[in-house]
């Protein structure tokens, strides 16, 4: 297996586990705050995977995902 691909998968898995662990403390957060946190987590993992584990890609994905998650309103129709 390619060493770079192995690192990317390890980084994505570690990030996903960290997000899942951090999400357990979100019980008293508003729905918008939860959406922001989930969006940032998913965006960070996606950015890491798409850029091969690059720090800029991970942080950029987290920022973009957080903004999108913040703007999602499940009550709007």
Q: What is the pLDDT of residues 46-68, one digit of tens each?
A: 888 888 878 898 889 999 999 99
Separation between Cα atoms, residue 54 and residue 51, nearest integer Å: 6
The sign of the dihedral angle between the CA atoms of 37, 59, 70, 16 is negative
**DSSP conformation letters of 25-62:** T-TTS-HHHHHHHHHHHHHHHHHHHHTTS-HHHHHHHH
Per residue in 9-34, pLDDT tens? Answer: 777 777 777 777 776 666 788 888 88
Q: How many CB atoms lie within 10 A of CB 50?
A: 14
């Amino acid at each position: 297996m390619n060493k770079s691909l192995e690192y990317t998968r390890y980084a994505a898995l570690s990030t996903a586990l960290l997000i899942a662990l951090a999400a357990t403390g979100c019980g008293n957060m508003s729905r918008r705050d939860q959406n922001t946190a989930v969006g940032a987590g998913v965006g960070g993992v996606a950015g890491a995977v798409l850029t091969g584990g690059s720090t800029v890609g991970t942080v950029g994905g987290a920022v973009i995902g957080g903004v999108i998650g913040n703007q999602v309103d499940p009550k709007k129709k």
